[in-house]
Amino acid sequence: MLTATLGVVTGKLPSGQPRKVDFVALPLLPEAEELWSCWSEAHGLGPQQAVWFHPRLEGSSAVDDPALEVCREVLAQMVGSPNVVFYPMYWLSEIALEATKVDMPIIGDPEDHRLMPLSAAKGWLHPPVGARERSCLRAVLSGLGGRVRAPKGFVADSAEELREALAQLRRECPAGTRFVLKPTEGSGGCGVVLDASEAHLDAFAFGPSGGSAILEEMIVGRDAPQSPTLYMLGDTPCGPFADQVLADDCSTNLGNRFPSVLQDDDLFSACVKASQEINKTWGMTSNWGLDFVIDKGGDAVIVDINMGRPNGNLAVRLWASLSDSPLTVFTGMWTIPLKGPSIDSIFASLRAANILWNGQEGVIVYQYMPGCPSGYAIASSRGPDGVSQLQARLSKTMLDAHGTVLS
């Protein structure tokens, strides 16, 4: 698998500035080697930018902590490289210790936060059920006013608490309000139940490690649901809104589009202000983000918070920022069958259809995992219409050449 960090290394820099070179750590697997070969040829990457490691599986009796062993192997290969910093997906204490051992500066925000682990930060959106008191989104935004608010909801640790949360929300919300059930540690819409019933509450699987559930009001928006997302770097927005592109169920994320089609400068300013107010509590210094749903009145309701790891398509956005022309970018997923086409043949098909990235627009394939969802991006300097046209051509090419249907 190639991660999206590959996108950072391509593109032109302003005259006189040195090129910044990123490295990407890849498992020594045929699929990854094939994709790297295609990538390096198509995007002018140097062979030294790939740092290879031997794949290790969870549960292997030969290795106690596969992720830590991979980290050690990768860092060992980088010892002595000048001006290199380490940006891990998750800043765990043991990972930071390994970086310290080889004098490798580490950036990001540590997973071990005083409020709660960053991977479980969704649990901060709401207060716990009952009399327990702690900081939460609703409390932080209560005095802010403006066009941004938190949804009404509660965090529960058991089925009994979920039923109590439902009873309390029914008292707080207008008659007929529907509710959403989701895990505090979920991502990408996984585990989200819209219009949750009492049967859904009873069936919720609480994790053995203490995973919690969120029950909150279901935000009813306009006819075409709008779900902008805002990436932050500490207290600074990483450009304008992006859009989460949702399936018809309004919970499954099909991809992301940047910049958003939502043009509302006042709302954007209000969302940035709310983000900065939130960060007074969290103190994030690196990449984090908020997801919103626009309600019928045109106001933004914060429905998700993502802390402690680089957002999934951040690197694609960084890559796009190096372009001479402003780019509209859509990132999505497709599933290549387990015994489907090789990555060489996919690149060949995109090249033959004249839709492979050419410096102004085109398709960028940055993941290839047969049998699993894999990532691609579509970018165009011709705005949303250019992306839509490329998306239609990509759909036809993948269906005609490889029998693969895009979502």
Helix crossing, 343-352 with 383-402: angle to 10°?
120
**What pTM did the predictor assign?**
0.83
Distance from CA of residue 81 to its chain's centroid?
Answer: 29
Among 37-46, 278-287, 367-376, the range with the most confident prediction by mean pLDDT is: 278-287
Taking CA atoms, 173 is separated from 130, 152, 227, 282, 298, in Å, by 17, 8, 22, 29, 19
Q: Report helix, strand or coil for 299.
A: coil
Structure tokens at 299: 């106001």
Q: What is the pLDDT of residues 32-77, one digit of tens each?
A: 999 999 888 887 788 888 999 998 876 665 677 888 889 999 999 9
Q: Who has greater pLDDT, 215 or 249?
A: 215
pLDDT band at 13 (very low <50, low <70, confident <90, very high): very low
pLDDT band at 21 (very low <50, low <70, confident <90, very high): low
Lowest mean pLDDT among 183-192, 328-337, 397-406: 183-192
The rounded distance, in Å, linking the Cα atoms of 30 and 379 is: 28
351-373 mean pLDDT? 91
- Strand order from edge to edge, sheet including 213-217: 153-156, 213-217, 179-183
Q: What percent of the chain has pLDDT over 90?
A: 40
Q: What is the pLDDT of residues 156-171, one digit of tens each?
A: 888 888 999 999 999 9
